[in-house]
């Protein structure tokens, strides 16, 4: 079933190996170290800011660079930026103007932190709580910023928009679908990610592999949502969680036999790798 020549593995975080409490299950940690002990090099590819990958980097000790913000930046284990891709600035200004006129709240991801137009967005509040609990050794800006003039001065890598239902999601996307420089995907069941179409998880992993002369046929990737499809498309070995999004399941080579909340990734690794 599985190509035994696997030498590298990239993992999405949220919904793949990280649970709703932003923790990696013990089973998934054991499975990833099982791969490491077999000599397989592992890496992280996430929609999160690289600052928010610190606990995962500490627990998993990746051998490969971390792909953050859906490929918007690539960092090493010390969080030093190796490469970055910004959103087209004119499109960014037009987008936040549209959001302002439609009273749509959002978060802007930059290389120095995250800025939110609303203080009580649940995802933003969870980040603030983690900062207060000293979960991150390297600090970063986490700013409630309702002033659009200040937001216009940012150098954005990603915009994150929370939504409540499918109708709202489709409406939000319809407002920005004409911007040709954007990549628009869902990273979680209630979040829309906007970033430069010059990058993606797949493009960034491809960049890493070309720079280090690694073979993509020796790579396996694990994910669960729309923002993982780009990395499913660069290798013949891709695994999606059985409860992943329909688009992700259509795009992956394999589907786990157990769902995310039963450590489906670990189950797959121990059975087939």
Q: Name, in order, each residue with C-beta under 8 angstroms of 4's C-beta and a sequence gap of 6 or more.
A: none
State the residue for tokens 């190796």: 82
Q: Residue 132 — φ and ψ, nearest 5°?
A: -60, -30
Sequential pLDDT tens for the chain (273 residues): 565 699 999 999 999 999 888 889 999 999 999 999 999 999 999 999 998 899 899 999 999 999 999 999 999 999 999 999 999 999 999 999 999 999 999 999 999 999 999 988 887 887 777 766 666 666 688 899 999 999 999 999 999 999 999 999 999 999 999 999 999 998 888 899 999 999 999 999 999 999 999 999 999 999 999 999 999 999 999 999 999 999 999 999 999 999 999 999 999 999 999
The rounded Cα 242 to chain-centroid distance in angstroms is: 19
Rounded distance between C-alpha atoms, residue 273 and residue 267, angstroms: 10
Class of domain 8-84+199-272: alpha beta
Domains of the chain by residue range = 8-84+199-272, 89-196
Greatest pairwise CA separation for the chain in angstroms: 55
Class of domain 89-196: alpha beta
Quote the DSSP letter at residue 14: B
**Global pTM?**
0.93
């Amino acid at each position: 079933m599985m190509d035994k020549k696997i030498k590298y593995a990239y993992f999405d975080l949220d919904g793949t190996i990280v649970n709703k409490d932003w923790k990696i299950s013990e089973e998934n940690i054991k499975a990833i170290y099982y791969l490491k002990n077999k000599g397989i090099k592992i890496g992280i590819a996430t929609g999160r800011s690289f600052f928010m990958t610190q606990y995962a980097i500490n627990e998993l000790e990746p051998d490969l660079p971390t792909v953050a913000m859906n490929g918007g930046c690539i960092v090493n284990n010390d969080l030093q930026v190796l490469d970055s891709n910004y959103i087209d600035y004119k499109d960014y200004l037009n987008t936040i103007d549209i959001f302002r006129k439609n009273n749509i709240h959002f978060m802007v991801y930059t290389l120095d932190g995250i800025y939110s137009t609303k203080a009580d967005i649940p995802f933003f509040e969870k980040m603030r709580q983690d900062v207060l609990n000293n979960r991150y050794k390297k600090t970063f800006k986490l700013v409630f910023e309702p002033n659009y003039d200040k937001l216009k001065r940012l150098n954005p890598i990603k915009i994150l928009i929370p939504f409540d239902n499918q109708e709202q999601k489709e409406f939000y996307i319809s407002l920005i679908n004409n911007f040709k420089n954007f990549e628009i995907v869902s990273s979680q069941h209630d979040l829309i990610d906007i970033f430069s179409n010059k990058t993606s998880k797949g493009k960034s992993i491809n960049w890493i592999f070309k720079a280090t002369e690694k073979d993509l046929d020796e790579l396996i990737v694990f994910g669960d949502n729309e923002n993982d499809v780009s990395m499913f498309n660069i290798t013949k070995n891709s695994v999606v969680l059985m409860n992943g999004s329909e688009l992700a399941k259509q795009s992956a080579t394999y589907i786990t036999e157990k769902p995310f909340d039963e450590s489906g990734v670990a189950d797959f690794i121990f059975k087939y790798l």
